[in-house]
Amino acid sequence: MATHYLTEEVQNKYHYTVGPYVSPVLRVRPGDTIVVETRDAFEGRITHEGIKPSQVLEYPYVNPQNGPVYVEGAEPGDCLAVRIDSIKPRGPQPRGTTCLVPYFGGLTATDLTAMLHDPLPEIVRKLEVTEEHVTWNTRLKFPYKPFIGTISTSPRIDSIGALTPGNHGGNMDLPDICPGATIYLPVRIEGALLYLGDCHATQGDGELCGVAIEHPTRTTITVDVRKQWTLSWPRLESDTFIMSIGSARPMEDAARIAYADLVKWLVADYGFDKWDAYLVLTQIGRARLGNMVDPNYTIGAGIAKTYLPE
């Protein structure tokens, strides 16, 4: 099992769309570990609190992704299992960034929920981020709870913007994609072509204003291939639960996708009767709101492993 280093230098050019039209930056084997230097979602352009995001951001060149990583032996119909080993902040302080971006967020008119309002004010916060805390102000510190905001395998022929989550993974912004968990992604082309980036130092459910504590990281993952495990949507497994992940609008469709896929999973792999799974999840299912701000919203639906047969 080799360890690969996908440093800024090796990556060189980051990507803003996820598809089959670029050459792999790295080739690895199932079982290999990769240490990835991710950039923050603004690619470091928001350097101080006096900057207006609208001055330095140019769509669609946001949310830079590392990759694609070609995984040997991954073929359409397989599943790529990505275990997140660790996420560490890197770069000079204050290395954390959050801000209000015009017409982007959960409590503002947007390009898609179009209205006649003027934009909300642009506000930037630069924050010290350590492996223990995010320091908000003299009174408030948040625990460092890092996760990968965006992780994808390549669609077959589409190339999807790095801001959009979907059945390829993408910008799910789901805090459960964190160290200790394994995310399962559908393999749709040979080699899978794994992309990732957009690590958050912490984030609330829904990523309310659209910008969590963005920060550059050194993220270590280990990839594996599950042959002939054909997923329609991403799934996740931690020590204590399994979860299906849906991304769609309106939000109820994300919830429906996630729960319907979880029913399917319980039936296929855990011996549940279909209607029994539906009824059991009614009583003990757990839902997690990833984002309520991206082109699709993301909800994860899970069940504790204690309720699964051995």
Q: Which of residues 162-181 bind its own copies (CB under 8 A)?
A: 167
Q: CB-wise, 83 or 145, nearer to its own copies?
A: 145
- Rg (C-alpha) for the chain, rounded Å, is 19
Q: Under the criterion CB under 8 A, does residue 139 sit at the interface with its own copies?
A: yes
Polymer length of the chain: 310
Q: Under the criterion CB under 8 A, does residue 52 sit at the interface with its own copies?
A: no
What is the arrangement of strands in the sheet containing 26-28, beginning at the earlier edge strand?
26-28, 65-71, 194-200, 147-153, 169-170, 165-166
| CB of residue 143 to its own copies, shortest distance in Å | 9
Q: CB-wise, 228 or 306, nearer to its own copies?
A: 306
Q: Under the criterion CB under 8 A, does residue 135 sit at the interface with its own copies?
A: no
* The 3-state secondary structure of 30-80, one letter per residue: CCCEEEEEECCCCCCCCCCCCCCHHHHCCCCCCCCEEEEEEECCCCCCCEE
Instruction: Choose which of 24, 94, 161, 179 interacts with its own copies (CB under 8 A).
Output: 161
| CB of residue 178 to its own copies, shortest distance in Å | 15
Q: CB-wise, 26 or 162, nearer to its own copies?
A: 162
Backbone angles phi, psi at 53, to 5 degrees: -50, -40
Q: Under the criterion CB under 8 A, does residue 208 sit at the interface with its own copies?
A: yes
d(Cα 237, Cα 273) in Å, to the nearest integer? 21
Q: Under the criterion CB under 8 A, does residue 278 sit at the interface with its own copies?
A: yes
Backbone angles phi, psi at 274, to 5 degrees: -55, -50
Q: Which stretch binds its own copies (CB under 8 A): 28-36, 66-74, 216-224, 245-253?
A: 245-253
Query: Are 258 and 126 within 8 A, CB to CB?
Result: no
| CB of residue 179 to its own copies, shortest distance in Å | 18
Say how far residue 226 (Cα) sits from the centre of its chain: 20
CA distances 176 to 57, 62, 100, 237, Å, are 28, 23, 24, 9
| CB of residue 183 to its own copies, shortest distance in Å | 20
Query: Are 91 and 42 within 8 A, CB to CB?
Result: no
Q: Under the criterion CB under 8 A, does residue 19 sit at the interface with its own copies?
A: yes
- The amino acid at residue 284 is I
Q: Under the criterion CB under 8 A, does residue 234 sit at the interface with its own copies?
A: no
Q: Under the criterion CB under 8 A, does residue 211 sit at the interface with its own copies?
A: yes
Q: Under the criterion CB under 8 A, does residue 250 sit at the interface with its own copies?
A: yes
| CB of residue 177 to its own copies, shortest distance in Å | 17
Q: CB-wise, 11 or 108, nearer to its own copies?
A: 108
33 has which bridge partners? 3, 222
| CB of residue 32 to its own copies, shortest distance in Å | 29
Instruction: Choose which of 91, 142, 190, 238 interacts with its own copies (CB under 8 A).
Output: 142
Interacting residues with its own copies between 94 and 133 (CB under 8 A): 98, 100, 105-109, 111-118, 120-121, 123, 125
- Nearest-CA neighbor of 94 among 216, 203, 8, 9? 216
Instruction: Choose which of 74, 81, 87, 263 interacts with its own copies (CB under 8 A).
Output: 263
Q: Under the criterion CB under 8 A, does residue 73 sit at the interface with its own copies?
A: no
